[in-house]
Amino acid sequence: VPEGHTAHRIAREHTRRFGGSNLAVSSPQGRFTDAALRLDGARLDRVEAYGKHLFYRFSGDRIVHVHLGIFGKFTTADGAPPPPIGELRMRLVGPTSYADLRGPTACELITPDEAAAVIARLGPDPLRKDADPDRGWARLAKSRLEMGALMLDQRVVAGSGNIFRAEVLYRAGVSPFRVGRAVDHPTWLGIWTDFRLLMRAAFRSGRIITTEAADRERPKARTVPIDDAHYVYRRTGMPCRRCGSEIKTTVQAARNLFWCPTCQAV
């Protein structure tokens, strides 16, 4: 499941590959055909990410809004594209490479006002320089919802997903069942700073690694193995890396939550 760093990596790569070029735009699947016809041959200026949302800014104030959702995926490669197969929603072809989009939750042509409205509904994005953590705090500080749910709420932290919510709460020593109203401002700022640290690392490497070397079974491995990458995520029944307690799981906010009942007691 893509988290925010995935969208930012796509935005960077697609800006590098396609920015400033006139693109052939098509929708072999047929569900984006009218918009593709209007965009075909237009210049793409740049691609921006905000949380998990992507905005392809074409000349003439035309924007394609993409949200990958759970199943969406871009395939990006050098050279000319192969004959289209599968449910290919949008194909972008530039001078030297192409990008194919399949299975997104959203792929729509919108205006700058509509893009601004999408962004206005999102909270601060830790991967953006313009992010203001107090916007997330304003929502969290008066909420009766539990932290495990709030850390998935895109109005609190844009770009957070199921791995980050579990791992950041563990690293902060905060119970996922504590309500937002019971969290103080310094604790929130610590959580926010950790989101930024972990998401920037994931943006650089393409992987979500949250463990400190000293807490890994193989602290010296040059490439961190996947079973050493997390503290609690998908470690149900295994001993906590720091205290040895059994890692627990439950469903919270419709997603599997993982936590250590000792390290995250309150």
Residues involved in catalysis: 2-3, 52, 255
Selected range binding Zn ion among 17-25, 82-90, 97-105, 234-242, rule: CB under 5 A = 234-242
Calculate the alpha carbon distances from 251 to 85, 178, 209 in Å: 36, 15, 23
Selected range binding Zn ion among 93-101, 143-151, 213-221, 256-264, rule: CB under 5 A = 256-264
Closer CB to Zn ion, 92 or 191, in the complex = 191
* Site for Zn ion contains 262 (CB under 5 A): yes
CB of 166 to Zn ion, least distance (A): 13
CB of 190 to Zn ion, least distance (A): 18
d(CA 59, CA 43): 5
CB of 261 to Zn ion, least distance (A): 8
CB of 174 to Zn ion, least distance (A): 13
Query: CB atoms < 10 A from the CB of 197, how many?
Result: 14
Please pick, from the candidates 1, 37, 243, 265, the single residue that binds Zn ion as defined by CB under 5 A: 243
Three-class SS of 153-217:
CCCCCCCCCHHHHHHHHHHHCCCCCCEHHHCCHHHHHHHHHHHHHHHHHHHHHCCCCCCCHHHCC
Q: What is the edge-to-edge ordering of all strands in the sheet holding 53-58?
A: 44-50, 53-58, 62-67, 106-110
* Site for Zn ion contains 260 (CB under 5 A): yes
Please pick, from the candidates 66, 109, 240, 257, the single residue that binds Zn ion as defined by CB under 5 A: 240
Selected range binding Zn ion among 30-38, 95-103, 118-126, 254-262, rule: CB under 5 A = 254-262
* Site for Zn ion contains 263 (CB under 5 A): yes
Selected range binding Zn ion among 39-47, 156-164, 230-238, 255-263, rule: CB under 5 A = 255-263
The owner of tokens 């042509």 is 109
Query: CB atoms < 10 A from the CB of 96, how many?
Result: 11
Closer CB to Zn ion, 9 or 171, in the complex = 171
Closer CB to Zn ion, 183 or 263, in the complex = 263
Closer CB to Zn ion, 213 or 238, in the complex = 238
d(CA 2, CA 72): 9
Which residues neighbour 80 within 8 Å (Cβ) at sequence distance 6 or greater? 93, 98
CB of 196 to Zn ion, least distance (A): 24
CB of 252 to Zn ion, least distance (A): 18
Which residues neighbour 261 within 8 Å (Cβ) at sequence distance 6 or greater? 245, 246, 248
Q: Which residue is nearest to Zn ion (CB)?
A: 240
- Count, in order, helices (H) and strands (E) of the chain: 7, 10
Size of interface with Zn ion, in residues (CB under 5 A): 7
DSSP reduced 3-state for 133: helix
Q: Contact residues for Zn ion (CB under 5 A)?
A: 240, 242-243, 245, 260, 262-263
